Chains A and B, each alone.
Chain A
Amino acid sequence: MEGFGLSQGTAHLLWLPLPMLLVLVAAVIGVLVNVWLERKISAAVQQRIGPEYAGALGVLQPMADGLKLLFKEDVIPRRADGLLFTLGPVLVLVPVILSWLVVPFGQNLLISDVGIGVFLWIALSSIQPIGLLMSGYASNNKYSLLGGLRAAAQSISYEIPLALAVLAVVMMSNSLSTVDIVNQQSGAGILSWNIWRQPVGFLIFWICALAECERLPFDLPEAEEELVAGYQTEYAGMKFALFYLGSYINLVLSALLVAVLYLGGWGFPIPVEWLAGAMGQSVDAPLVQVITGSLGIVMTVLKAYLLVFIAILLRWTLPRVRIDQLLDLGWKFLLPIALVNLLVTAGLKLAFPAFFGG
């Protein structure tokens, strides 16, 4: 940038927000793809055609949805608490976007390799229930309040098994950093991925991630037959869009983190080093580096969207659980299983340090 005649300080100042903007754009594009997939897959599940007029195969339909929400009137109910009503959706969205800091798409392709890594994501995702409670309370509506309380209860109870499942992975890789976790899985391609060493942890994590995202079968906070739309009942326009964005960004983020923690992150099923060796190329050659980097991004996104596909299929095939079944599953089943998983992992790590990380 100094080539454009800017001083070093100004160039630095202009350079700083760039990664943040990039993440925002990536997250929003991820959501648009997600919404389109959701519409198309749900249509396929129900033997409909789905959106088809807006763009080829209806790919522009999410844009149309977004524009519609943008131009809608922003209604604040008369006896609602205006300040908290506005602040609630923001508090739901901001932590989710901040968590994208730690998602790696390649060895150096992440915003910041903070030492606390996945712990940052767990900590940030615990802020979300406050936003949900806030919007539930501020709407001055019984359904909203009940929805907000349910959302908070759900995310508190599923956060503990989730954190325990992550802890087992962290214990195997001796690091909280997402980059180290992926590197630890990159030894022998698909065989060294954590899903083979942590099958129970993978299932626990995926169930808890779905519950944290409030996806069906765990979408009790907004169960439309019982609570109208839960904490979103009174929201319209852009504020509703913030909730919408938040939940979809959270889904993509959770899928990305499952890919990072259990499916080898940016790793190709066959190690790139072997492939390069078989073709007689050096790994450090510039062209090979470029191909490796782009392959990493493609693999991460591919794995994440495979999981998103599973989540969407689950949504359109499974019925909703009841609130007591939900809490029973969380506290009486997942939590003990997660604790046992942690204990077994610790034992295996001591017994076979070569396979479970020394």
Chain B
Amino acid sequence: MTIASVTQLICFVALSLTLVLGSLGVVLLPNIVYSAFLLAGVFLSVAGLYLMLNASFVAAAQVLVYVGAVNVLILFAIMLVNKKEEMAEIPGLLLRRVLSGAVCLGLFLLILRVDLTTPWAVTGPTPLADDSAVVIGIHLFSDYLLPFELASVLLLMAMIGAIVLARRDVFSSDVITGEAVDQGLIEKERTPLLLESNPGETTLLEKV
């Protein structure tokens, strides 16, 4: 065994372990902030696996998009609404957990079966190494042009929708119903969010 192959093996085992344990943590941990941070770790180890497959451009894009943008936005959302709140007891929680666990286990077994029965190509295609960015660009503007454009239109729609939702105060009336905009939805709650509200008081969510 050469040094290169040992290093590769160690990297693969470490990345896979962080990937599997991290994603289990994302799902199972009760603290949502921990889950979000673990999700960043999961994305990073996926990027590491891409790197081991000689897809360095995809790995960097994975880090930039998923860790740098998606995960940071998730964290942002969590931290801006991180309000201490008494959760109501959900009836039949154990049954729900068992059922969803069973569904997940079934899916896992299905994927495992596909994995074991498919005749995988052992060598795979030759890696493109440094030219991958060029090849990806050519594909995006030739045979994958339609999905690429559709995705950009979808993103544009989402962006316009977000702006309309966020800036209701600029429109004198609601865009959908035509009624005057409810100012209570726009203006922030008088009491600071981080303060614990009295038990008798209605919370922000109930008012909405």
Contact = CB atoms under 8 A, between A and B. Distances in A.
Contacts of A92: none
B67 A126 contact: yes
Q: Which of A114, A115, A124 has the most CB of B within 10 A?
A: A115
Contacts, number: 77
Given A115-B56, A116-B60, A123-B63, A137 B68 contact: no
B34 to A, nearest CB: 8
Given A123-B63, A127-B63, A115 B130 contact: yes
Interface residues of A, number: 30
A123 B3 contact: no
A152 B194 contact: no
A126 B75 contact: no
A142 interface: yes
Nearest to B68: A126
A134 B76 CA distance: 11
B75 A115 contact: no
A129 B79 contact: no
Contacts of B44: 127
A142 B56 contact: no
A149 B80 contact: yes
A201 to B, nearest CB: 19
B109 interface: no
Interface of A is mostly: helix
Chain B contact surface mostly: helix
B60 A152 contact: no
B45 interface: no
Contacts of A137: 33, 79
Contact of B129 (A115, A127, A142): A115
Interface in A105-134: 114-116, 119-120, 122-124, 126-127, 129-130, 133-134
A9 B7 CA distance: 13
Given A129-B68, A156-B69, A149 B3 contact: no
B72 A120 contact: no
Interface of B: 2-3, 33, 37, 40, 44, 56-57, 60-61, 63-64, 67-69, 71-73, 75-76, 79-80, 129-133, 194
8 contacts: A12-B3, A114-B56, A123-B68, A126-B64, A127-B44, A133-B72, A149-B79, A176-B133
